[in-house]
A and B are shown apart, each in its own frame.
Chain A
Amino acid sequence: QKEVEQNSGPLSVPEGAIASLNCTYSDRGSQSFFWYRQYSGKSPELIMSIYSNGDKEDGRFTAQLNKASQYVSLLIRDSQPSDSATYLCAVREPVDSSYKLIFGSGTRLLVRP
């Protein structure tokens, strides 16, 4: 069973701090990784995608990928109360397997004013 694991949280950080969200995945052949944000009662929204080892930055968000360790993370700098949401890590199964996105159960982030 291919899995994507996340700590459910909540992860509580003060406003202005760096929030670090982590994700591990089981299928070593996976090549594509995504972070979605889901506010309570709303639908998931794509915020970052990463395909190569290393860091990818977009505004206050940085995604980090380490395929050797099968580890993906999302850093949110200068956290704001509006960042409070559940962050879903998603991994696309290898092309020769299927095209499914496998989601983790999400980490709930609370940013305290």
Chain B
Amino acid sequence: DTAVSQTPKYLVTQMGNDKSIKCEQNLGHDTMYWYKQDSKKFLKIMFSYNNKELIINETVPNRFSPKSPDKAHLNLHINSLELGDSAVYFCASSQGEGSGEQYFGPGTRLTVT
């Protein structure tokens, strides 16, 4: 059973489109995260939710909107995609707000053309 799953694994789309990435965890964790890993492999936090409440909202364009329908799910919607949004997006979860012991999903490779 996959602990943290993401869909889709790959996403290729054109500039200006809107797309969503979904994440689910079955670990019973109460905190979930979205990270972006760019081409230089830098892994940077975007958002964090604890029990459906937004607790970290980094300086991310407001074209990115997270949504947590329940504590096992965290989705990421991106409007008006730009070339610079191309990256790998990882979902992660942890038990406890801000725990550094995080479990990552397999990632979604987004390519904007």
Contact = CB atoms under 8 A, between A and B. Distances in A.
B44 interface: yes
Contacts of B7: none
Contacts, number: 49
A44 interface: yes
B85 interface: no
Contacts of A90: 100
A46 B3 CA distance: 14
Given A49-B100, A98-B56, A44 B106 contact: no
For chain B, the bracket of interface size reads 20 to 34
Chain A interface size, as a band, is: 20 to 34
A99 B98 contact: yes
Contact of B56 (A88, A95, A99): A99
A71 B47 CA distance: 27
Nearest to B41: A106
Contact of B45 (A42, A43, A49, A100): A100
B44 A32 contact: no
